[in-house]
Every structure is written in structure tokens, then in C-alpha cells.
Chains A and B, each alone.
Chain A
Amino acid sequence: MFNKSDLIKLNNYLWEIPKSYRKDMLVPARIYITEKMLDEVVKDRSLNQLVNLTTLPGIVKYSLAMPDIHEGYGAPIGGVFATKLPDGIISPGSVGYDINCGVRLLKSKHTEKEIRPYLERLIEEIFHAVPSGLGKGGKFKFNITEMDRILGKGIEYLKEKEYATEKDIEHCESGGCLKADPCFVSDLAKKRGRDQVGTLGSGNHFVEVQEITEIYEEKLAEELGLRKGQVVVLIHTGSRGLGHQVATDYIRLFMQSMDKYNISLPDRELAAIPFSTPEGKEYFLAMGAAANFAWSNRQMITYLIRNAWKKVLGLKEESIDLVYDVAHNIAKIEEHEIDKKKIKLIVHRKGATRAFPNQPVLIPGTMGTASYVLVGTEKSKEAFYTVCHGAGRTMSRHEAKRKTSGREVLQQLTKKGIIVKSGSLSDLAEEAPLAYKNVDEVVEVVHQAGLAKKIVQLKPLAVIKG
């Protein structure tokens, strides 16, 4: 475990673990956090996991952690690092199993007052339309040829099938499609995914109907089409069983290949080999396919929500537009400035969000707390244009269930006027707001550090938990 004295305070929101801390470190490690929050972070193994990232061959500058950091496996959640192309490593373990788990924000034309009379029916309709929980297949079952097209083309294919619009593609990170090759996705993965497009899953995945309660930057909010009192929908889910299987397949392959490339790591779960190897390139194209699947999943959920909205409000036409869609578990090739030269890097983000200048950034809170829309700034180049991805857990699921019950969480949310739909009371307890850090404090760190600017605050009106 770490002592706070092992870290150097660079400013009120940034701390460094120097390269001298451990012999095998190739670069320092940095964490964006306040001193008060750091006191909690040193209690688990997340900083050891952050230091492990600094040993990865080809890493540049430093490994980074965002204020929502918490202990994971391999890389910590909230961990970011970049390696040099072509010989730096690529690490499926540092992307995680839920490839392109991410968040999508939709905006309606209505205010909270207009929607309130329909809210109960609306959330009931969405709950029935979007399969959540486990073991329930979705409404759409794609054959292998269709699956390959989803994996290869992402939302572009769904536009051909009229499930998506050109505007949806424009408002999605990377246009909802990464370079991919479905041939590198196993049949097992495809079988797991074929009835999961348009399904929410479980755990911390959700659909929330929210209201915009605060505007911090009028002009930027207006540019995004967001105004106070407006009703929006936030979706959080990923690549489901297909992505989990792609990660499982390649972590296994990489572990078998590390000896061949003389790679030795402090935690085998990091499973990393040079990008330039055949296995490295294959994983990148398979990961791209899983990412396309995740974007397609969030797109089909959008399609189902649009239909539910029209049905409940009794409208023939209703425009529910996409504000933005971001990934927070992914590895991408990007150009960044290193030693005053622009070079191509493989940026790994595990529980962290890309935040290019002026790009919308979506930070969900917990069931009972606020969520935020921010935009990236030029200053975030020091963090490979990255910010946090959520509040970040602060206690185990076991402890959360010891401290509260699903029924109690339900009562507390109902008291606040929030409608809750969930297949499992136990999951509600595990995902209770008390199990997470204070999202307001987390977002304030990235805002004060200058990595992104707060634009609007959202508060939940109704929640569907997977």
C-alpha cells in the first residue's frame, strides 16, 4: 500500500509518483486528485496498479489516473497511458473486458413540466422495450452475415437498415466505427453477441431520463442544443458478451505470446505485446469490431427509446437527437505532441473518457446524484486529452449491501421523486449512491485542473437499472 508521502504534490489537483519509487518504472505516474480524495485512494491497491502501468514497454511521459480511480485488475479503473507506435505494446488487459463500454446522451424537445404527466408510462415503456438484466435476449437477432456487417461497419450499417441517421453518426465518437476486421472475432464471441444488440445488461449499466438543472456555460450549452429544464436521456452500456469474449480470447492469446516477445510484466492480467506483431495487429482489429458492436448496441437502444417516446406521447414524428456518444474502455491510435514533435501513439483508456478540445464529454453520476456534460480543452493535451468517466466506486458491492438494502435505496430515490425500474433489488443495493465517490467532487477536479469545462448539470427523473 502507498503512503501519501510517496507522492509529490505538483499543484492542488495533480500529484506525481516519481520514477525512483520502484526500480522497474520506466516513467513517473501521475494522478489528478485533491489531497482529501487522495487520503481515500491510498487505502486500496489502485496506485500500485497505476505504477505497474509505468513498466509497460514503449510507454511515453507517464501513466495517468483520473479522480474516479479505484482498484480494478491489471490496470486501475480511471487509468490512462500511451505507447509509441509501432513497437510500443498494446494491452487488452488495459482496455478491459467491456470493450467500448460508454455513455450516450439524447436530447428531447420537451421540458420536465411537459414530460412529467407521461413520465411513469414513458419509463415503463422503455423498461419493456429495452431488455435489461441477464439471460434475456434482445428483440433483434442478427444472422452471422449481419453480425459481420455490424462488426465491420458499426452504426453506418444500422443507417443502411434505417435504425440510425446521418446525424447520429456525426455525433458519435469516431463516427461510431473504428477500423475493424470481423474475421479476427471468434465464432464463440459472435454467438454470444447475436441477440444482444439493443440490450442493456446489468451491474452499473442504466438508462436514465434526466432534467438539465444547471447551466455553467450558456453559449456552449446552446451550441449543443441544451437548455435549463430540458429533458434528456443518458444511456450507459457496452459490448456485452461479444466484447467480453473478444477480450477473453485475446488476453489468453497474449499471455501465451509474451514469452516469445520477451515481455515480462508485474501483473499477467495486463497481457501486453508489441503493437507491430501479428497478434497485436489482430487484437486491434478485433477490438475495433467489438467497439463497433458497442456503438451499435447503444444505437439500437436509441432506436427503441425513440419508438417508446413517440408511442407514449402519441406523436407521429418526434425528434430525439443524439448530443454525443463516448467510449470509456478503449485503445486508439492518436497523434499527440511529445518533446515538441507530433507522433502517433496507442492511447489506452480504461474507465477514462477522450476529451479533445471542444468535444462533449459525458460524466454519469450514480442513481440519485447529478451527471455532467463537459467539453474538452486544449490544456487536456497534458493528459493525452482525457478526463474521468464517472464517480468511481469507493466500496465493495458486499459492503454496500451490508450498509443498505435494495428496498431502502428504492425508498430514498422515490422520496426524491425519482422513478426506479430494476429487475433486482440486490443490484440496487450494490449500485447505491453511497457505494460511489461524490461525483460533484470528481468532476470539479477535472474542471479545476483545466482538463475540461463544465457545461451543464443533469439530475435523474427516472432510472432503469440493468
Chain B
Amino acid sequence: MSYKYKVLPHPADIKLEITASCKEDIFKGALEGMAYIIQPNASRKSVLKKEQIEIHSLDINALLVDFLSEVLAKSDIYNCIFDKVKIEKLTDNSIKGRLEGKNVERFSKEIKAVTYHQLNINQDKNGDWKAIILFDI
């Protein structure tokens, strides 16, 4: 696994910082981080739900937000936590893959939305990719 995520404080909402070795892992880390916010104590003993996902967006920043927004909507409709994605294809404005998750009785926290607020996926001088996403709680 070549990504990590950290929840950062915000006056009203929640920020998630992801550090990864490549763009693909930014998406994987953001997905797992969002699942952690919704359900910090979820166990991954059984994978019950698999869902195809395909998103097209303006640019890589919008793509990450649109990808997470789509996952959030699916979570809400199916009462499911999706925390893994097998990415089949990723470009700067499209992603195709398969989500993996499991049904839950309830979530611990409600994320109303994934925002575009000051999101800028970038690579630092050490070659690490970074992104900070603000979730509306």
C-alpha cells in the first residue's frame, strides 16, 4: 500500500489529507479515508457489494471530487461502505473501475457532500502526490 491519509480539523467540516506515491493511489487513499470518516470502526471481514464506476470530469481535481461524490451517493442508496477500488483505467479526466464494499446497518457520520474547495492535487519535491479534500458535514 503506497498511500496514507489523515483527518485534519476544520471549523465546521472535515478535511482529509492524502499522501500517495502516484495519482492512482490518491484515489484509493481518498476512498479509504472517506470510508473511515463515515465508519471509523468498520471491519472488512466480508466483501458483499461490488459496483462498477465510470466518471468523466473537467480535470484531475474535479475527477477526484466527482468520483467520491458518486461513491457517496451509492453508499447512501445501498447502505454500503465502499473502501476499495480496483482501477481499470485512470486519465486526468476519467476513471473506470470496480468498487468493493459491504452493507452496514448505519453509518457513524454523515458526509453531506464532497466539495471542490481549494482542492489541488499536486506532486511535492520528493515525488509524493498530495491532496486535501474538504467534506461538508
Contacts and interface: CB of A to CB of B under 8 A. Distances in A.
B73 interface: yes
Contact of B110 (A202, A267, A269, A426): A202
Contact of B10 (A201, A252, A396, A466): A396
Contacts of A191: 77
Chain A: number of interface residues, binned into ranges: 35 or more
B136 A252 contact: no
Given A252-B66, A256-B58, A135 B104 contact: yes
A44 B11 contact: yes
Given A71-B11, A77-B12, A398-B7, A269 B109 contact: no
A9 interface: no
A264 interface: no
B14 interface: yes
Given A135-B104, A188-B73, A192-B73, A72 B12 contact: yes
Chain B, interface SS category = loop
Interface residues of B, number: 34
Contacts of B73: 188, 192, 241, 245, 248
Decide if the interface of chain A is mainly helix, strand, loop or mixed: mixed
Nearest to A193: B76
A192 B134 contact: no
A248 B77 contact: no
A202 to B, nearest CB: 5
Given A192-B76, A269-B117, A397-B137, A98 B112 contact: yes
B120 to A, nearest CB: 10
Given A71-B12, A393-B12, A397-B9, A424 B108 contact: yes
Nearest to B105: A135
A393 B106 contact: no
A381 to B, nearest CB: 29
A395 B11 CA distance: 5
Interface string B122-137: 0000000000001011
Interface string A106-137: 00000000000000000000000000011110
Contacts of A77: 12
Interface in B82-128: 104-110, 112-118
30 contacts: A44-B11, A71-B10, A72-B13, A73-B13, A73-B117, A97-B113, A133-B106, A135-B104, A135-B105, A136-B105, A202-B109, A203-B112, A248-B113, A252-B62, A252-B66, A255-B58, A255-B62, A256-B58, A267-B117, A269-B116, A269-B117, A269-B118, A271-B116, A395-B11, A396-B9, A396-B10, A397-B14, A398-B9, A424-B108, A466-B110
Interface of B: 7-14, 57-58, 62, 66, 69, 73, 76-77, 79, 104-110, 112-118, 134, 136-137
Interface of A: 44, 46, 70-74, 77, 96-98, 133-136, 188, 191-192, 201-203, 241, 244-245, 247-248, 251-252, 255-256, 267-269, 271, 393-399, 423-424, 426-427, 466
